Amino acid sequence: MLGLQVLNRKRLVDTNLIARFRSLPVANVSDVMARMTAGGSRLRPMHDGSLLIGPAITVKTRPGDNLFVHKALDMVQPGDVVVVDAGGDLTNSIIGEMMLAYAATKKLGGIVINGAVRDVGSIRRGSFPVFAAGVTHRGPYKDGPGEINVPIAIDGMVVEPGDLMLGDDDGLLCVPIASAAAIYEKAAAKHAAEEAQIVAIAEGRYDRAWVDLALQRIGCPLES
């Protein structure tokens, strides 16, 4: 029934591949995904900055209601990331300290709330990864409707159950299962190139000729 369904995941990203992504900044992964995908600038880390990573279990709920989030927490496997589309509404919080204490016992890879959280002081002092759009002291309702393990979208970023979720200080990203392996290879190469570039900068070997070439390409005159 549309608006009231609890489904099981049919697939999820490989655990070995997840481990390999741990060494990559989200920005490098985003670069090789054509910089076209993001969870929106409002979704920020509320915790101490520890890496959020793991396969998604998705929740779609009406704004301000967390009944189906509670159900999802009873369904998760260690390492999962619960991704909640609560419409981006900040009127009522979706989770707080009590739910996160329970989530931590599940050994999750993190929680994403396209909505608000509360007890943010406790979240900020902890290392459990929590991304959210905002903060409010007003608590949630528990009436539904909602859906679990259905495709959701956050600011144009489509998340399907089992996709790889990545989050660091720069923001949140979803890597689709079908292209995750290819994206990793490209992102790893990008990261290695940037590491080499940093070394070149430190050693005074950084070639800046590309700047003038780019200006010439767009027709900008340069005084000699």
Residue 28's domain is classified under what CATH number? 3.50.30.40
26: in domain: yes
Domain count across the chain: 1
Domain of 158 in residue numbering reads as 4-186
Query: Please, which residues have CB within 8 angstroms of residue 163's CB and are 6 or more apart in sequence?
Result: 13, 55, 56, 174, 175, 176, 177
Q: SS3 of 104, please?
A: helix
147 is in an annotated binding site: no
Domain annotation covers residue 51: yes
Q: Is 157 annotated as a binding residue?
A: no
Residue 165 lies in a domain: yes
Q: Is a pLDDT exceeding 90 seen at residue 223? A: no
For the whole model, what pTM was predicted? 0.93
Tell me if 204 is assigned to some domain. no
Q: Is-contact 203 75, C-beta < 8 A?
A: no
Residue 36 is predicted with a pLDDT of 86
pLDDT tens-place string over residues 139-157 = 999 999 999 999 999 999 9
User: Is 125 assigned a ligand-binding role in the annotation?
Assistant: no
Is 98 known as a binding-site position?
yes
96 appears as a binding residue in the annotation? yes
Mean of the pLDDT values across residues 66-70?
A: 98
111: in domain: yes
| pLDDT at 224 > cutoff 80 | no
195 assigned binding-site residue: no
Specify whether the CB–CB gap between 179 and 160 falls below 8 A.
Answer: no
Residue 147 lies in a domain: yes
